[in-house]
């Protein structure tokens, strides 16, 4: 199985289903969407009990994990790159990396929503506030408790937030000049920039009009503001759309994101480029698919 067919589907499905990616990749917009969904519910809530269904997502034995959190209150809900950061009242953080299929959802005590199919960890909240459920089909996600020093070390190792003030054209220009990595690989490296995964990397390269395999130091200077703008634009649009619609992905309230319909390149192999009509191509490098328009994204 190669090319378009690997992300396509049998004839007979609607065009939307045929072209929309159907694999979960929670990236910055999905994490942001979940954070926004949890923010009204978690701050101030006490963790009354922690039950683990799948210990393998925890950073320590389940009993230790539960003991470390029980009785503590959530203070704030944040995000760092693709990770959710739940700050506790004692300044520790519960850092949730969603991996490939993780999601974090709040369930009120009397919820009419169907129960989660693959719960991995459940946090029972005090004051009849229901529960916080970490749900993860594939369990590539991780939940780590970090004290303030560990948190600082961890967050310092990540690159800047692409939607934050440190991600500037000047910074980008300087960093790109230091590396021979292909653009897609560079964007995926969380130490360079935090929050971009395989879906949005293809989208960003498309919007910027740059081939994903171009070594970043060879990107012409005049293209760098365009890449900077494309990065922000794609991520902002996706945040506004509440993430990409993917089979496994749901927001904290159980909604589906809308960005899947707006994808320009990812998952569209064989379909016409929305800009020029040329067929979108799927290539594989570094063991991952990238999607591009061979006309719009010629190597500079």
Partner DNA sequence: AGTGTATCCTGCAGGC
Partner DNA sequence: TGCCTGCAGGATACAC
Would you name the residues annotated as active-site residues? 26-27, 82, 288
CA distances (Å), origin 136, targets 25, 118, 271:
12, 6, 31
Binding to DNA (CB under 7 A) within 216-255 occurs at 247
Residues in contact with DNA, counted by CB under 7 A, come to a total of 42
Among 124, 155, 179, 233, binds DNA (CB under 7 A): 179
Between CA 171 and CA 200 the distance in angstroms is: 20
**Least CB distance to DNA at residue 108 (A):** 25
Residue found by looking up tokens 């990397």 in the block: 201
Q: Is 182 in the site for DNA (CB under 7 A)?
A: yes
Which of the 8 DSSP states describes residue 182?
Answer: B
Q: Which two tokens stand for residue 30?
A: 């999905």
**Least CB distance to DNA at residue 73 (A):** 27
CB 140 within 8 A of CB 101: yes
Q: Is 284 in the site for DNA (CB under 7 A)?
A: yes
Q: Is 137 in the site for DNA (CB under 7 A)?
A: yes
**Least CB distance to DNA at residue 278 (A):** 21
Q: Is 6 in the site for DNA (CB under 7 A)?
A: yes
CA distances (Å), origin 7, targets 21, 42, 45, 215:
7, 37, 42, 26
Counting Cβ atoms within 10 Å, is residue 152 exposed (0-12), middle (13-18) or buried (19+)?
A: exposed
Residues 45-84 vs DNA: string with x where CB under 7 A? -----------x------------------------xxx-
Which residue number, 245 or 289, has a Cβ lying nearer to DNA? 289
CB 218 within 8 A of CB 176: no
Q: Is 296 left (phi over 0), alpha (psi -120 to 50) or beta?
A: alpha
**Least CB distance to DNA at residue 285 (A):** 5
Q: What is the Cα 36 distance to its own chain's centre? A: 14
Q: Is 23 in the site for DNA (CB under 7 A)?
A: yes
Which residue number, 101 or 251, has a Cβ lying nearer to DNA? 101
Binding to DNA (CB under 7 A) within 192-221 occurs at 197-199, 215
Q: What is the Cα 138 distance to its own chain's centre? A: 15
Which residue number, 154 or 255, has a Cβ lying nearer to DNA? 154
Binding span for DNA by CB under 7 A among 37-45, 105-113, 270-278, 282-290:
282-290
> H or E element: which one contains 7?
none
Which residue number, 47 or 193, has a Cβ lying nearer to DNA? 193
Parallel/antiparallel/unpaired status of strands 93-97 and 142-146? antiparallel
Number of H helices, E strands in the chain: 8, 10
Which residue number, 118 or 122, has a Cβ lying nearer to DNA? 118
Q: Which residues bind DNA (CB under 7 A)?
A: 1, 5-10, 22-23, 25, 27, 56, 81-83, 97, 99-101, 118, 137-140, 179-182, 185, 188, 190, 197-199, 215, 247, 284-289
């Amino acid at each position: 199985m190669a090319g378009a067919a690997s992300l396509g589907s049998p004839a007979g499905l609607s065009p939307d289903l045929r072209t929309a990616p159907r694999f979960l990749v929670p990236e910055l917009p999905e994490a942001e969407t979940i954070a926004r969904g949890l923010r009204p519910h978690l701050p101030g809530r006490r963790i009354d009990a922690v039950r683990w269904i799948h210990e393998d997502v925890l950073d320590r034995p389940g009993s230790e994990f539960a003991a470390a959190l029980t009785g503590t209150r959530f203070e704030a809900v944040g995000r760092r790159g693709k990770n959710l950061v739940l700050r506790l009242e004692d300044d520790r953080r519960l850092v949730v990396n969603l991996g490939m299929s993780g999601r974090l959802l709040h369930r009120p005590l009397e919820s009419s929503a169907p129960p989660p199919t693959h719960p991995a960890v459940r946090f029972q909240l005090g004051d009849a506030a229901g529960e916080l459920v970490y749900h993860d089909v594939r369990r590539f996600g991780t939940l780590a408790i970090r004290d303030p020093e560990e948190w600082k070390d961890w967050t310092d190792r990540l690159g800047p937030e692409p939607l934050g003030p440190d991600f500037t054209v000047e910074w980008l220009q300087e960093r790109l000049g230091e590396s021979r990595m292909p653009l897609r690989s560079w964007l995926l490296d969380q130490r360079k920039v935090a929050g971009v995964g395989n879906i949005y990397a293809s989208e960003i390269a498309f919007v910027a009009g740059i081939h994903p395999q171009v070594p970043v130091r060879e990107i012409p200077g005049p293209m760098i503001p365009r890449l900077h703008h494309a990065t922000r634009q794609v991520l902002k649009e996706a945040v506004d759309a509440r993430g990409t619609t993917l089979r496994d992905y749901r927001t904290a309230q159980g909604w589906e994101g809308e960005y899947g319909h707006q994808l320009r390149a990812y998952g569209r192999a064989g379909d016409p480029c929305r800009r020029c009509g040329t067929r979108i191509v799927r290539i594989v490098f570094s063991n991952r698919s990238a999607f591009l328009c061979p006309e719009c994204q010629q190597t500079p």
